[in-house]
Amino acid sequence: MEKYYLAVDIGASSGRHILGTVKDNKIILEEIYRFDNGMKQENGHLSWDVESLFVEIKEGLKQCKKLGKIPVSMGIDTWAVDFVLLDEENKILGRAAGYRDDRTTGMDEKVYEIISQNDLYKRTGIQKQIFNTIYQLMAVKEKEPDLLKRAESLLMIPDYFHFLLTGEKKQEYTNATTTQLVSPVTEDWDYELIRMLSYPEKLFRPLSMPGTKVGQFTEDIIKDVGFSCTVVLPATHDTGSAVMAVPKVPGRKELQEDILYISSGTWSLMGTELPAADCSIKSMEANFTNEGGYDFRYRYLKNIMGLWMIQSVKKELAGRGEIYSFAELCELASKESIPSLVDCNDNCFLAPESMINEVAGFCQRNNQPVPKSAGEIAAVIYNSLAVCYKETAKELQSITGKTYSSLHVVGGGSNAAYLNELTAKQTGKTVYAGPGEATAIGNLLAQMISYGEFVDLKTARESVYQSFSVKEYKPM
């Protein structure tokens, strides 16, 4: 009888339920349910509709029952940094704010009145992003203090969904590290820092590692979906799961922590794995982060704006009646010769009203040719991303003292052939592109290792290479 595992992978724009099973040491995937997601305006603020998302989670579980493929375990991963506060009756206080909401404007300065930016990085090793949980909590403290006083629990978004399924509250390690409130020395909450910031200590419970069995479905969930299974924590931060799925290429003798990767999706997360965090000033000035990974590996990486830019352009063009697939935009871009480049990490691209106008405006302000057609706009974005990858690779090599001969691109962006070609050309490294469903695969790997399908992460990564298409792009 086949043993199924279920990954519920929820991104900023969509979610999906993917069943996985292992046959002859190969992983076989089956997508059984997909649904839309997105931040919504709520009283002038951007929020997540977590109630609707949970309904979709249960609908996907019902699809398992309908297909007669009941998983032995399941786990949910989402984006990082966002959370809910729960009162004593486990009701959400306020709203599930989205990371693109502007409530954190100026909150960095409030934090730095208590601890300097340099000292904060030394303590946590986390890259400054204005939407990090540490600044979101400061926004609650400053603007809605009553909510913080009434709060009995803080759960990151996937932790909240796991709680709704099982009634058990767990705070998963990889996602917790993105809060900028975890110590890479103790690998636990930095309670001294939390006290300095006057955040309620009771909100921060013992951390749980990927592979932890949370519990079985509650009776109410069993009645609703028609079965029970064990909820197992994946790396609940989607990048943590995606990096787990970086394949081990046969014949290459690099250590596991010597890989160079890009988890390519809405964001491009580019980095390597380190056995210990690098909290140096040099690292901080280069804007690298030390996020917790599976088995206490550190995902030493930089957040790059990524395919959010091309996703926004595609949506904007569609609103004008110009309908393109991502493959078509890649094809159009490959035929253009416009030399203009933009800084993909500039805050102007975080949440503009018009990405097309913002790209054009950046070029105009910097005395570069202004892109006009869809192909030119796409070409500017793709070429700019490849140059950003090149510069980030150089920084990584300088800081780590290592030379990386190849680069793994996993996630949805691994399907962008033109961008992969540009990346190989700009970085001078062989690009291995795939698998595309890296986040869901990594989610499944944590469950499969927990159940003994694979001995460890190394053997799991070897299976990933054998199981999925990985394309190779040589530098020209």
Catalytic sites, residue numbers:
238
Tell me the sheet residues that pair with 206.
none
How many Cβ atoms are within 10 Å of 24's Cβ, its own excluded?
8
In sequence order, which residues have a C-beta less than 8 Å from that of residue 302 and are 6 or more positions away? 127, 269, 270, 271, 286, 287, 288, 289, 392, 395
DSSP string, 311-329: HHHHHHHHHTT----HHHH
Instruction: Report the alpha-carbon angle 209-272-359, nearest 5.
Output: 110
End-to-end CA distance of the chain: 48
Q: Is the Cβ–Cβ distance between 334 and 375 less than 8 Å?
A: no
Q: Residue 174: in which H helix or E strand, if any? A: helix 173-176
Instruction: Tell which residue, 240, 261, 254, has the closest CA to residue 431.
Output: 261
H-type helices in 7-125, by residue range?
A: 50-67, 107-112, 117-124
| Torsion angle (degrees, nearest 10) of CA 375, 378, 383, 386 | -140
Instruction: Report the alpha-carbon angle 87-89-92, nearest 5.
Output: 45
- What are the tokens at 112? 């730095």
Q: Is the Cβ–Cβ distance between 231 and 216 less than 8 Å?
A: yes
DSSP string, 298-313: EEEEEEE-TTHHHHHH
Please write down the HEC assignment for all residues of 403-443: CCCEEEEECHHHHCHHHHHHHHHHHCCEEEECCCCHHHHHH
H-type helices in 207-266, by residue range?
A: 219-225, 238-244
Q: Is 195 helix (H, G, I), strand (E, B) or coil?
A: helix
Q: What's the DSSP call for residue 45? A: E
- Which contacts (CB < 8 Å, 24+ apart) does range 198-203 have? 198/141, 199/137, 199/141, 199/148, 200/148, 200/149, 200/151, 202/152, 203/85, 203/151, 203/152, 203/153, 203/154
* Residue 473: Cβ-neighbour burial (10 angstroms; 0-12, 13-18, 19+): buried
